[in-house]
Structure 1
Amino acid sequence: MGDLSKQIAAEAMGTFCLVFAGTSAIVVDAATGGAVVSHVGVALTFGLVVFAMIAAVGDVSGAHLNPAVTIGFWIAGRLPRRRVVAYVAAQVCGGLAASCVVRLLFPQDASLGGTAPSGTPLQSWIMEMLLTAILMFVILSVSTGSREKGITAGLAIGGVVALEALCAGPVSGASMNPARSLAPALLTGRFEHLWIYLSAPIVGAALAVLACRCAQAEGCCPCAPESSS
């Protein structure tokens, strides 16, 4: 298996684990009325599974697990275009497979842990954009130079995911990830607010690249998007 094939497999498996663990926690929390998992538990689940997947597949693919992150790395000039398409396809397939398993395990659940705004669509769009911008800024910062290796990057990124899910989950669902929101929507047919969770994270990731270029060393976001390998 070539390097790209391994990277695609790593992204698919990593995103599967992320979507399966996170949305299962939401479904179980709803089924038990918050008595077992709770909102804090859901937030920690997302943060911990991101940390675990960075440790598991970070050395293979970078453990993006998120189309917005992949597109952000491309905008930053740190990922070639041909890998963007492959990564995003793998992430969507991994997320969809996870939602299929959640459907099999919890056929009575109507949402499969999907995301939906609790307030206005604009409020949730802005929230998702800002959450993803913060997350992407941290990812770009801790994946540069000597900070790229070791446990520090995983702790920082997983910690941000957990904290943002904790504070913003009740507002927008704190998706920050188009694949995480698309997968349950495809199986439940709930597309009304999907545009929020597909567009806002990508805009947020692009803004994070701009912020990183302003605030970090030159190696953070070195150049324009790459068009080839």
Structure 2
Amino acid sequence: HLSGGHYNPAVTIAMILDKRTTPADGVAYSIAQIIGAIGAAAVILVTISQDAVSAGISAPGPGVTEIGALILETVFTAIFLVVILTVSKRSPGMAAIAIPLTLVAIHFAIATTSGSSVNPARSIGSAVIGGDLSSLWIYLIGPTIGGIIGYGIYKVTGADDEEASA
């Protein structure tokens, strides 16, 4: 049994809700994801610089309020999860193309406004090693709620229906 290759606690939560991952495995995955993100930021600190780590800290862009960034992170994480859940169930062979392209599109759409994290672990790693936790709450709450909303949309639209994919 493979983990599914998700390195994002928001994805893991949705996978638990969809019963593709057990809660126990989900907790273990999320812990590993956070440790991995902190480790990655530490490697950047050691091999490049503190400035490089600081550049990766998620924060609202100029003129964007914290609430605005929170809304963007929530909405775009929900979109990301609808794509992940739908494609991985209906067209797993397309997942390796559709999921990364969706993430790239999301980054193009909101990188300069919300910081485009859509991944709590990624934000934790940079914030902890970079020493700036001031906006971290946005990137913990937004993607987590967005992941749950994305799962809800996936269920309500019937995208999880096995019959529809046949």
Task: Using structure 2 for the length normalisation, give the TM-score.
Answer: 0.90
2:70 is the counterpart of 1:125: yes
Conserved? CA contact 1:99–1:112, under 8 Å: no
Which runs of 5 or more structure 1 residues have no equivalent in the other structure?
4-59, 221-229
Percent identity between matched residues is: 35
Give every structure 1 segment of 4 or more consecutive aligned residues whose post-TM-superposition deviation is greater than 3 Å.
Answer: none
Aligned-pair CA distance for 1:188 = 1.7
Quick one: which of 134, 140, 143 aligns to 2:85? 140
Return the alpha-carbon distance in structure 2 between the equivalents of residues 108 and 178 of structure 1.
Answer: 21
Q: Report the 3-state secondary structure (helix = DSSP H, G, I; strand = E; otherwise coil) of the residue aligned with 2:118.
A: coil
1:74 to 16, 22, 36: 16
Quick one: structure 1 residues 196 and 108, their matched pair in 2 at CA, closer, same or farther if it must change by over 3 Å?
closer
- Residue pair 2:86, 2:160 contacting (<8 A) in 1 also: no
2:3 to 61, 66, 89: 61
SS in 2 for 1:70: helix
- Say how many residue pairs are matched: 159
TM-score norm. by structure 1 comes to 0.66
Deviations 1:28-58 (A, max 9, x none): xxxxxxxxxxxxxxxxxxxxxxxxxxxxxxx
Of residues 211, 214, 222, the one that matches 2:153 is 211
Shift of 1:76: 2.0
Distance 1:192 1:108 in 2: 17
Deviation (angstroms), 1:218: 2.8
Q: Select the structure with the greater relative contact order (CA < 8 A; seq sep ≥ 6).
A: 2
**What is the match of residue 144 of structure 2?**
202
**Partner of residue 111 from structure 1, selected from 21, 42, 54:** 54
Letter in 2 for 1:194: L
State the Cα RMSD in Å. Answer: 1.5
